[in-house]
Structure 1
Amino acid sequence: MNNNVNNAQKIRWLTYLMFLMFAMTTDAVGVIIPELMEDFSLSMTQAGLVHYAPMVAIAVAGLGFGFLADRIGRKLTIILGLAVFSVVSFLFLVGDQFGYFLILMVASGIAIGVFKTAALALIGDISLSNREHTRTVNGVEAFFAVGAILGPLLVTYLLSRGVEWKWLYVIAGCLCLLLIVLSLMTKYPPQKQSNAEPVSFTSTLAMLKDPYALGFSVGAFLYVATESAIYVWMPTYIKGYDGPFMLLAVYALTVFFVLRAIGRFLGMWLLGRLNWSFVLVLCSGAIAVCFSVSVLYGKAAAIFLLPLSGLFMSVIYPTLNSKGISCFEPNKHGTAAGVILFFTAAGAAAGPLIMGVVSDVFGGDAKYGFVVATVFALVLFAGLVYNWIKQPVAHRLSSVQWQQTESIE
C-alpha cells in the first residue's frame, strides 16, 4: 500500500513539473513580443500572433486529440506530447524568421494540448474522489503559476545578458527530455476499462452535447477571457499613469502573477474547508468588483485592483476544470479534459482579440476593452451564483464511480 502511495506522489510531482515547464513558455510571450516587433518591424497585431496562434493550436489539439489519453493510454500520450514539444523547442535555434517561429509556436501548442489532456486524465487515475481530484488540480495550477513567473523573469535575464529569447525554449526542451525520462521510469496506475464503444474524435464531438461538459467549458471560456485581459492588455490600459504610485504601475503585471501564484495555494486551503461552489462565488464576485471599479474609476484604481484580482482568480479555473472532468467516468477523463481545454484556449485567444477590436473602434482606448472583460467577469459571476444556489451538478458528481487505486502497474 505504501508503494502505491509513493507512486501516486511521484505522478503528482511529475504532473506539477510538466505544467511548470510549459507555463514558462506560454506566459513569457508578453516579454518576447516587443523583441519580435523590433527585430522584424511588426505591428502589435502581427506580433500578437505568437499568442493567438498557439492558443488556437491548443484548442484544436484539445478537441481533436483529447481522446488519445483514453484510447492509447496516459503514459504513451504524455510521452508523445513531451517528445514533440522537446523537438520543436530545440528547432528554435535553427531558423531566424518570424514565420518560422510562428510555425513552431503552433506546433508547440498542439504538443501542449496533447500532453496536458493526458496529464489531467492521469490525475483522475490517482484520485479517489472528485474532492481529491479538485485539490490536486489546484496544486497543478499552483505550479503553473510559478512557471508563469519564472518564464518572463528568465527571458528578461537572458536579454539583459545579451542572450536571445529563443534560448528559453532550449531550456524548456531540456526540461522536457528530463520529464520524458522520469515518465518512462514511473509506474502508472492501470487505466480503468469500459465496455462502452472506444473513444474517438466522434465521441469527443458527442460530448459537446452533454450539458455538464458544455456548462463547465463555457465557464472556463469566460474565466480565461477575463484573466487574459490582465496579462495581454493591462499594461496598455494603465500606460500613461502619472500618479504617486508609479512604481506599482511599472510592476503591476509582476504583482498580478505573484498574487495569482499565492492564490493557488490559498485556493487549496479554502477548498479544504469550504464548499467548492461557495468558494467560486466569493472569488468570482471579488474579480467582478475589481474589474468594475477599475473601469468606473480609471487608472488610479486599476493599478491596485487589476493586479489584486490575481489573488481571487487562482482558484476558479482549476476548480471548474476539475469538476467538469469529474462529471464523467475515469475512462472518459481525457476526452472531457480535451473539450474543456478547447474552450479554455478559445477564451485565451478570443477574449483579448475582442477587447482589442472594441478598443480600436473607440479610438484605441483600452478602457473600452476592459468594459468587455468586465462583462465576461459579471456573466461568470452570475453563472457561479446559479450553480451555488441550484446545485445542478451535485447529483452528477456524487453518482460518478471513482476507481479505488489498489495497485499501480
Structure 2
Amino acid sequence: MTQRSRLILAMVLTYLAYGMLLNTVGTVILRSIASLGVTKAGAGWFDGCKDVSIAAVSFLTASYLTRIGIRRAMAGALALSVLACVMMPLAGAYWAICLHFALIGTAFAFIKVGIYTLIGQVTDSPRAHAALTSIIEGGFMVGVLSVTVLFSLFVGHGLIDTSRDWLDVYWILAALCALCLALLLAAGHAPEAAKGEPPSILAMLALARLPLVMVFILCAFSYVFVEQGIGTWLPTFNNEVLRLPQSMSVLAGSFFAGSIALGRLGGGVLIQRFGWYRVVNACLGAVALAIALIVPLSRHLGAAPVTDWFHAPLAAWLFLGVGLFMAPIYPTLVSVLLSSSPRARHAELMGLVVIFSALGGTTGSRLTAMLFAGLDGATAFGCMVVPIAVLAIGVSLLRRRQLATGVAD
C-alpha cells in the first residue's frame, strides 16, 4: 500500500470515527437520564458542550492549523479523543459526559479542517477531489448509522433500563480512535500545502456582514436548530412519548440517520432535474406536514409499552419522512453559498458554516430540552414548525440574493 493510499484510508476511517462520536448525544441523553439520574434540563447541555467547543476552536483552526502542521494537529486530536472515550466508563458521571463532548468537539474542529485540507493535497483534479470527498462523507454517514446500532447492543430491551453497560461502548470507540491514530502515523508525512496567507478570523467576521452570508447564516442556524433538536431528543421521545423500549428507541435513531443518508443521495438527483429552489421548498413543506401529523398521533397512545416494530405507532415511522426530506436542505444551502461566492473566500466561508451550524445545533438542543422538561415531548417537537417557517423565509431571501449575483440555478 502506497503512502497516499495509507493516508486516504486514515482519513476515511477517521471521519467515520467522528461520525460515531458526534452522534452519540441522543443515546447518551436517554441512558444518562435512566442510569445516572441526570435531569432533562441537565442533559440539554450535552450538545452545547460539543457544539460550542467546535465553534470556538473553529475560529483558531483556520488561522493556525497550517502553522501547527496538519498531521501533527490531527494526531493530537485523535489522542485527545482516545482520552475522552476512556474517561467515560472510568468516571461514569455527569461532569465526565460534559467534558467528553467538549473534548470531542475540540478535536473535531481540527479533524474537519485538516481532512478537507488534505483532500486537496492528495488529489490532482476536480473530479478526483469530488470523488474522494464523497467517499469521506459517506464514511461519516456509515459512522452515524453504525453507532446507534452499536449502542442498541448494550441497552436492555425493557421500557426502563438502569444498567450502565452502555458506557462500555466507549472502550470500542477509544480503540477505533487509537487505530485511526496508528494509521495516520503510519502514513508518514502529509504532502506539503501550497504556501499562502492563511484565512484569518477578521476575514471571516468581515464576510458575515455581507447580505448573502447573513441570509445563509439565518438559514443554516434554523436548519441545524431543527435537525439537532429532533435528532438529539428522538430516542427520549420514542421512549417516553411513543412508549418504545430503550433498545428500540436507540435503534430508531439509526433509521432516522439512514433516512437522512438516503435523502441526500436522492436529493442530488432531484436538484439536477428540478433545480435547488423547488426541491428545497418541497422538502420544507413535507417536513412541516410530517411534524404536524406526528404531534396529534403521539398523544393518547395508551400506557401499554410497544414490544416489537409491527406494533410501533405510526408517529415513529413518520420520523423517517422527516429525516428523508430534511436531508437535502443543508448541503444544498452550503452549495448555493459557495457557488455564489468567489473561490478565494471559500475557506473563510466554511469557517462561518461550521461556527453558526454549531451554534444552531446547541440552541436547538437546549430549547428542546427546556420544552421537554417544562411541557411535554409532543409539544416540544411541534414547536419545530417555527424555525421551519423561518427557514422557508430565509430560503426565499437566499434565492433573491443568488439571482442578484447573476449565478444560474
Pairwise TM-score range, normalised by the shorter structure: 0.7 to 0.9
Deviation at 1:224, TM superposition (A): 1.2
The letter for the 1-side match of 2:29 is I
Partners of 2:385 and 2:332 in 1: CA distance: 21
Question: Is the aligned partner of 1:260 residue 2:271?
Answer: no
Match of 1:152 among 148, 152, 156: 148
Which residue of the partner structure matches residue 368 of structure 1? 379
Question: Is the aligned partner of 1:172 residue 2:173?
Answer: yes
Describe the SS at the equivalent of 2:386: helix
Match of 2:193 among 182, 191, 211: 191
The letter for the 1-side match of 2:288 is A
Describe the SS at the equivalent of 1:92: helix
Which residue of the partner structure matches residue 216 of structure 2? 216
The letter for the 1-side match of 2:109 is G
Which residue of the partner structure matches residue 77 of structure 2? 81
Which residue of the partner structure matches residue 23 of structure 1? 19
Deviation at 1:110, TM superposition (A): 0.9
Partners of 1:122 and 1:384 in 2: CA distance: 32
Contact 1:37 1:44 survives alignment (8 Å): yes
Describe the SS at the equivalent of 2:255: helix
Which residue of the partner structure matches residue 182 of structure 1? 183
Q: Percent identical across equivalent pairs?
A: 25
Contact 2:62 2:199 survives alignment (8 Å): no
The letter for the 2-side match of 1:311 is L
The letter for the 2-side match of 1:287 is V
Match of 2:330 among 317, 328, 343: 317
Q: Could you tell me which runs of 5 or more consecutive residues in structure 2 were left unpaired when the two chains were aligned.
A: 158-162, 300-312
Which residue of the partner structure matches residue 355 of structure 2? 342
The letter for the 1-side match of 2:179 is L
Q: Deviations over 1:68-106 (max 9, x none)?
A: 345555444333322322333234354343323322321
Q: Deviations over 1:281-329 (max 9, x none)?
A: 4433432332344447665764343321111222222333455456666
Contact 1:222 1:376 survives alignment (8 Å): yes
Partners of 1:127 and 1:283 in 2: CA distance: 36
The letter for the 2-side match of 1:368 is T
Q: Counterparts in 2 of 1:53-68, with a 5 A limit?
A: 53-68=49-64
Would the alpha carbon gap of residues 98 and 127 (structure 1) be closer, same or farther in structure 2, given more than 3 Å must change?
farther
Q: Could you tell me which runs of 5 or more consecutive residues in structure 1 were left unpaired when the two chains were aligned.
A: 399-409
Which residue of the partner structure matches residue 43 of structure 1? 39
Q: Deviations over 1:138-194 (max 9, x none)?
A: 654443332122112212213459873333333223222332343341775653444
Would the alpha carbon gap of residues 108 and 359 (structure 1) be closer, same or farther in structure 2, given more than 3 Å must change?
closer
Partners of 1:40 and 1:235 in 2: CA distance: 16
Would the alpha carbon gap of residues 60 and 250 (structure 1) be closer, same or farther in structure 2, given more than 3 Å must change?
closer
Deviation at 1:21, TM superposition (A): 0.9
Count of residue correspondences: 385
